[in-house]
Amino acid sequence: MPDWIPDVLGDEFEQLTLELEPDDQGPVVATLVRALPAPQSWWDRLRGSRLLLEDVDVLYVHGWSDYFFQKRLARFWTARGARFFALDLRKYGRSLRAGQTAGYISDLSTYDEDIAAAMEAMGRAVDGAASGRRLVLLGHSTGGLTLSLWASRHPGGADAVILNSPWLEFQLPVRAAIVPVVELQARLRPLEVAPQVDLGFYTRAQAEVADPDDPVEVNPDWRPAQSMAVHAGWFRAILAGHTQVAAGLSITAPVCVLLSARSATPTRWSDDLTRADSVLVVDDIARTALKLGPSVTVERIEGALHDVFLSRHEAREDSYRRLDRWVRGWRASS
């Protein structure tokens, strides 16, 4: 296996290239990024003090047209003693190679190979189990859908699942109407591109609420202002995932879902888009989240964007407070 090397994020971050099976576009890789907790001082070790999450591994998976860049989110976990890992899936971000169709997948279960490779590099069994360390899965948007399906297929693999605005549903009446059309397109022309409907307002909203005291740097080649092209085969894979969630999953671990309090339609720019989720219909997601498993907590955050941890200051701090509260409760009971 290749060695860990310094990551583009600098500081305490390192990355590891994970070689995967090639596909019809050539060699395929995923990339694992890690940040480890600082060693405890000799005085803390002498006193026998323990950090809350020192026996925990966290695996983060990004959303559509995205990659991992959130330093503060990693440090939330490492400050509490956890080992933090983030996976840039195949054909995204650090893992995108020349000649590949960015973000393309025809079946979300294909990501099992990416996740298994990450688990092995983390020193865990490929199904996430058989480790002396607890596993927290942390997914944003489409990554939340991917990890939810993985956790349901691997009962006992995760000890907790935390979802940041997971894309669990595509407005049920609309989904039922478009599935036959998408199925036909995906069979005949899987790489057919849908019309671009993203006007770049979500990216603009993040820029509008950016906090100079909590800076975030983004690579526009890996996270473009307008989302990457949507292909028919990929869209069919997403809708198939939504259908599975609608039928009910069996995630045995406790689940925490963080969502904005409301949605806003991004047909034209307004300041309202800086205080709401302009990507998902959050009320639909909140209802559908209850089908993930027997223990689901839904946190609705006033003023939050689609990525609650990239919201304006007040909503962002509220998101971290709620995450901390849930994690403390989970850890105390586990």
Tens of pLDDT along 9-46? 999 999 999 999 999 999 999 999 999 998 766 566 65
pLDDT of residue 26: 96
Query: Which CATH number goes with the domain that contains 148?
Result: 3.40.50.1820
Owner of token pair 């060693």: 39
Round to whole Å and give the CA distance between 144 and 161: 9
- Helices in the chain by DSSP H: which ranges? 42-47, 71-78, 111-121, 142-153, 172-188, 201-208, 232-247, 282-289, 313-333
Tell me the whole-structure pTM to 2 decimals: 0.95
Residues near 177 by beta carbon (within 8 Å), at least 6 away in sequence: none
Round to whole Å and give the CA distance between 236 and 170: 12
Round to whole Å and give the CA distance between 181 and 333: 47
Radius of gyration for the alpha carbons in the chain, expressed in angstroms and rounded:
19
Q: How many structural domains is the chain composed of?
A: 1
Q: Which of 62, 72, 135 has its CA nearest to residue 94? A: 62
Tens of pLDDT along 218-253? 999 999 999 999 999 999 999 999 999 999 999 999
Q: Are 239 and 230 in contact (CB under 8 A)?
A: no
Neighbours of 14 (CB within 10 A): 16
**Which residue range is the domain that position 31 belongs to?**
5-333
